[in-house]
Amino acid sequence: MSKRGRGTKKTPVFAAVERDGKIRRRVGADVTGETLKNAIREEVDTRARIVTDENSAYRGIGLEYAGGHESVCHSTREYARGDVHTNTAESSFALVKRGIMGIYHNVSREYLHRYLWQFDFLWNHRKLNDGERTAAAIRASEGKRLMYRGSAADATI
């Protein structure tokens, strides 16, 4: 049986999710307090309230945010206390895990961030139909170029 949580050798991924809003995920170097708090500082507005699990790495971050910091204690089987829960982030991770296992089967750490971008795009546009989502993807690509190291003529098939 594989280990869960911080005891695994899996690549750490940080997620910041707005309630009924958007998600931003990133591959992390580790799950230390410094790394997690820096990720929160980069992604979250200081007027927000921070809600996490009981990981001690988050201790003290609430002092920097107007809404403070609340957490649920999964180790005591507490998963929600009113509107304090991490269910939104956890359900989004479940979708990523199912997508990777069911579609891609395996993803290297080197390219994981790109797969996360795709899943974030789908999550952030989940209320749109397929045509609207396609139009949003095209709009997002405006002004960007896809560059290859060599020319297409050099590629062998």
Q: What confidence score (pLDDT) does residue 20 get?
A: 87
Q: What confidence score (pLDDT) does residue 99 get?
A: 93
Q: What confidence score (pLDDT) does residue 150 get?
A: 65
CA 94 remoteness from chain centre:
11
Half-sphere exposure of 27 (CA within 13 A, CB side): 13
CATH class of 10-128: alpha beta
Q: β-pairing, 80-81 with 50-52?
A: unpaired
Distance CA(156)–CA(113), nearest Å, equals 27
Q: What confidence score (pLDDT) does residue 3 get?
A: 58
Task: Take residue 145 and report the two structure tokens written for it.
Answer: 């170029």
pLDDT by 10-residue block (mean), the chain, 157 residues: 65 94 95 96 97 97 98 97 96 94 92 95 96 96 81 55
